[in-house]
Homo-oligomer: A and B are copies of this chain.
């Protein structure tokens, strides 16, 4: 099966419910099956919007392939990315009728989705579904709490160290990390400019804490040193 040709203008329905899945996938599968709704696959091109802040939240999503950023904007375009969503992650579960952040594909991305409405219905009769919905929102809250500490109180180098450890944990399968996002995305996630991110990474490279094979292919050489500087 060769990769889909994706147009940036529109997403396309796919078949094949099975997928390369990861830890929290369980929950999604559980709630999806309990909800009785068929989980559909859908693909988005690089930088394509999946949903916008303020739009009615019709679906809940799980990343199958690719990566997603969710963010908020200020009037003048300043952007804060709240989270990166990698394969296996669930996103778009905003209780309340509207999405509170915008979601965009970072690279060509395939997601599985179920109707939010059917989840709510299932939660009304099945306490396991209700419990899973709560647990997933709670996981998002935990991440947000940790990230507030980072944004409000960590220095640039500490922020980048924390970011690298997070990504290492979440996507390093082989010791090699293949970052899907650009420096600007990292900056907007960490509350920094892209230049400051680049300088911090260069500094860590100079110190031998990490090695680049390319700008986005990074090998961590000393996780302990990173953990120390992440405060």
Q: Which A residues have a C-beta under 8 Å from some C-beta of B?
A: 72, 74-76, 78-80, 82, 94-96, 100-101, 123-125, 127, 130-131, 133-135, 137-138, 140-142, 144-149, 151-154, 188, 190-191, 231
Shortest Cβ distance from residue A60 to the other chain B in the assembled complex, whole angstroms: 13
> Do residues A131 and B137 form an inter-chain contact, with CB atoms below 8 A?
no
CB-CB under 8 A from A124, the residues of chain B are: 127, 131
| Residue among B74, B135, B137, B152 making CB contact with A151, cutoff 8 Å | B152
Q: How far is the CA of A75 from the CA of B124 in the complex (A)?
A: 43
Selected from B76, B80, B140, B145, the residue in CB contact (under 8 A) with A72 is B145
- Shortest C-beta distance, A78 to chain B (Å), equals 4
Q: When the two chains form the complex, which single residue of B79, B146, B148 contacts A147, counting CB atoms closer than 8 Å?
A: B148
Question: Copy number in this complex?
Answer: 2
Residues B80 and A153 in contact, CB atoms below 8 Å apart:
yes
Neighbouring B residues of A149 by C-beta, 8 Å: 72, 74, 80
